[in-house]
Structure 1
């Protein structure tokens, strides 16, 4: 069998493309069109007591996906055929041609049976009783024993104005569900170090900033041709642990959610970059890097001890790179330090809507229940159990040779046409199982540590200001300001120069509207936490 870790890495890479690119965009829609309204349909009596669709009574749904970037145009592959065999459900699939197509469909009232979108603005437009069926009403009528956690109901009803929920977003779990899972592989900013060099140094402790600096000093002294550390400018969270700042959800001096520039630890955070540079642990040009390839070159040529990126199995990716120049070299993730402090948001992404035009809402909601069962989530991703994939003892899963061959030949999408995220089937735990399944034993321990220590939040991502709002403009401007001044602060030659540049940056931030944004983030987080019953 082909190397399992390599295969799972490829699967994960494909899934990340789907889960990080917003279907039709995650921004508010610029269109001002108003959805047309139609009369709400009455629900008929249930045709069957079964909680799932009847495979002997086939139903083909018209299905629109708000995904212009999808690499296939139908759902007729192995995954779709297995779904049809098990449930009787198939799809007349329509892929969006542009980001405005769904808006035009809503304006005209000409809607298919099912609609999928990852755009929060479009999800709000679709979360109306004259446009879509409310899931809670369908569940009560046709699947009364399907229990949805109250928090999940609240998260999804957030997008409607009538307290009903019209979707169940994928990539969501409650905090309790995450904390009790044994196979979560959370993805966060992380440091990766050369294991061979670390062992040659005697595997010294790196549990805090002082110890970390001491190890970098030894690397600089004993390996003068090597860069002690390379950081990714678009990922600063891994370095945040050196001062204990929560880069995922920074807070002001009163503990209120705020922009990171208002966090009391932000000064020390920026000063850390300056210390790393002045001590010779970072190169000056590192502050000018603009893409991942500029970072990855240090793994490929073996010239860096520490590389920062993400926890999602990048240690194995970097190991594969460095072995091309040194067969004995390898990378491992740095265990979390004592001041590691990180908020990980889990609010969901795409949603599947059952429109008022749906020919068979009973089968549609029963299909959703079927698709969200843990084993069926894998079926919607990978096809036939026992032929394409198998369950593992730890609750994860692994591909079988048939799937592996399609993956490595580049034919996976064409042959399988994965349906999982399109029907909002896979939850956060199942998605992150891929990281965990692919991890080394040492990385699995880091994942477990991070899962228990992280500040999980179902709310924080919902506080992001809407596109076009004053607060969103302020946030974007502050992001640009921070990027511009990171280089100036990091490469300041004296403490006096650093303080002058830092105070200049904060003054500009205040002029941009830092206080206004902080007020918005704090009040929005507090009100949503109370409204949704979670943090």
Structure 2
């Protein structure tokens, strides 16, 4: 073989090797491009992306992602959550401690989950993967924590402006439902004051001695009466520009003493204060053991959906010139993207849809035109019973919309002309005062302030019945004073001092944005 032939063979070999390398790179690049495209789309053309989701609420009624509405959400987003619902209130804390977290967590525990070591900030992942999403600046503010980030936009919060722009959205307030047939029996007396209410209870006690005039829902024991005296039922209250813990309000003392008077007059029973399950008290109303029932403003309508032989009406008008509802809420349930999340882009696209107007309406109300129609006045009219849990479970509607719906979105869902809920909502909307700056003051987990607050709240749970069940008003006042003394000993003044160190700046920031 001559020298020229050898050079030709070497050249062909090199070209062959280069071609193989280029083909390999081409194949690798194609695979990477396909994988990237699949991630961008959220799923392949056949299978949706599966994301694990933990629901930190043992009572949550939906245990699976199934039904017509979840399937439509998956079709729109390319994401199918795999659901696990908590079986123990402490389960999430243990998961956080172990680092064994799913892709998404639904939780009311804002302080626990708003941590950069646990969750990813919305203000980083949304601009990167969904840059067109713009949250309201006030909603960003009320969810921002000390590190300058916000890790969720919690549900059930709307700005004061949003509430005022939606006349058919009435904020959930405490309510008092009364048996309509018995009211008629005793002459449909006027109920304009607490004295009027006492008179009605006394008539029921006389005419129906086997019936308890008032049954208190264990989760809504005093809230209706707090509202009549203009009191905040928990947390902090603004008193002349300074924050005090709610126990210190003179209006709270008056409300507690009023509940004591209900007991002393025989309108509520001592057994009522031992109930812990609202299902117990609701069943008592259904079995005709009670005339009045303290619950929410939707209480009468919810009871009416179950009652067959009788109906309930709300005490719709405030019963005092001092009546007021203080809205210090900043939201509740948050959807947190954990640092364990295996597909952040798909997750953000899923959240982007649920936060959108189209998404939350589909998730909460169903298919427009088929399940509901938009009334020209500005509220939804349903073609199914939104109070029927069996229907909601079958369709998979409402509860998967709850995590991302606003306060207005939740409230307007309850609007129904002529309903008891709406009748009361229209009246109480006139006496609501907004101040979310107070709701932003929440102690960090395991901080000194958190320990003080928890200890005070636990003490109140065990000691409050000493006020309610006192045999005389004098002894009820003494029991209330002892309650305050114990709270002081635990550290209530230190808690208030800490809160007031934060309040001025938070209030200023909120008021500037609310202008």
What TM-score do you get using the length of structure 2 for normalisation?
A: 0.75
In structure 1, the residue matched to 2:79 is 90
Match of 1:183 among 135, 147, 168: 168
Counterpart contact for 1:231–1:308, Cα < 8 Å? yes
Alignment of 1:458 onto 2:436: yes
Task: Map 1:292-303; keep pairs closer than 5 Å.
Answer: 292-303=278-289
In structure 2, the residue matched to 1:420 is 401
Which has the larger share of helix?
2
Alignment of 1:155 onto 2:145: no
Alignment of 1:489 onto 2:476: no
Moved more, 244-253 or 178-187: 244-253
Change (3 A) 1:250 1:334: farther
Q: CA deviation at 1:248?
A: 4.8
Once residues 418 and 498 of structure 1 are traced to their aligned partners in structure 2, the CA distance between those partners, rounded to angstroms, is 42
Q: CA deviation at 1:505?
A: 2.8
In structure 1, the residue matched to 2:20 is none
In structure 1, the residue matched to 2:31 is none
Show CA shifts across 1:55-80 (max 9, x none): 99899545332326567776465334
Once residues 160 and 509 of structure 1 are traced to their aligned partners in structure 2, the CA distance between those partners, rounded to angstroms, is 28
In structure 2, the residue matched to 1:408 is 390
Once residues 298 and 115 of structure 1 are traced to their aligned partners in structure 2, the CA distance between those partners, rounded to angstroms, is 36
Once residues 424 and 319 of structure 2 are traced to their aligned partners in structure 1, the CA distance between those partners, rounded to angstroms, is 11
Q: CA deviation at 1:239?
A: 1.6
Alignment of 1:469 onto 2:447: yes
Moved more, 245-254 or 499-508: 245-254
Alignment of 1:64 onto 2:52: yes
Counterpart contact for 1:135–1:365, Cα < 8 Å? no
In structure 2, the residue matched to 1:232 is 217
Partner of 1:192, secondary structure, is strand
In structure 2, the residue matched to 1:124 is 114
Aligned length: 466
Match of 2:358 among 357, 360, 375: 375
Once residues 216 and 360 of structure 1 are traced to their aligned partners in structure 2, the CA distance between those partners, rounded to angstroms, is 58
Match of 1:277 among 256, 263, 285: 263
Match of 1:135 among 117, 123, 130: 123
Q: CA deviation at 1:331?
A: 3.8
Q: CA deviation at 1:364?
A: 5.8
Change (3 A) 1:319 1:141: closer
In structure 2, the residue matched to 1:350 is 334
What TM-score do you get using the length of structure 1 for normalisation?
A: 0.72
Once residues 488 and 406 of structure 1 are traced to their aligned partners in structure 2, the CA distance between those partners, rounded to angstroms, is 39
Once residues 73 and 272 of structure 1 are traced to their aligned partners in structure 2, the CA distance between those partners, rounded to angstroms, is 41
Counterpart contact for 1:74–1:417, Cα < 8 Å? no
Counterpart contact for 1:64–1:96, Cα < 8 Å? no
Match of 1:204 among 171, 174, 189: 189
In structure 1, the residue matched to 2:410 is 431
Change (3 A) 1:123 1:404: closer
Q: CA deviation at 1:350?
A: 0.8
Once residues 198 and 417 of structure 1 are traced to their aligned partners in structure 2, the CA distance between those partners, rounded to angstroms, is 34
In structure 1, the residue matched to 2:456 is 478
Change (3 A) 1:530 1:103: farther
C-alpha RMSD of matched pairs (Å) = 4.1
Show CA shifts across 1:148-201 (max 9, x none): 322122223x1362x454543333321211222133243232211122222344
In structure 1, the residue matched to 2:7 is none
Partner of 1:485, secondary structure, is helix
Counterpart contact for 2:55–2:105, Cα < 8 Å? no
Match of 1:340 among 296, 310, 323: 323
Change (3 A) 1:54 1:285: closer
Segments of structure 1 that go 5 or more residues without pairing to the other structure are 1-46
Counterpart contact for 1:184–1:432, Cα < 8 Å? yes
Change (3 A) 1:452 1:127: farther
Change (3 A) 1:522 1:55: same
Show CA shifts across 1:328-381 (max 9, x none): 5534344322332222343222134386977674x7656544432333212134
Change (3 A) 1:387 1:205: closer
Change (3 A) 1:530 1:353: farther
Q: Which has the larger radius of gyration?
A: 2
Moved more, 384-393 or 169-178: 384-393
Change (3 A) 1:282 1:354: closer
Partner of 1:265, secondary structure, is helix
Match of 1:291 among 277, 286, 292: 277
Counterpart contact for 1:463–1:524, Cα < 8 Å? yes
Segments of structure 2 that go 5 or more residues without pairing to the other structure are 1-35
Counterpart contact for 2:42–2:48, Cα < 8 Å? no
Change (3 A) 1:336 1:472: same
Counterpart contact for 2:142–2:440, Cα < 8 Å? no
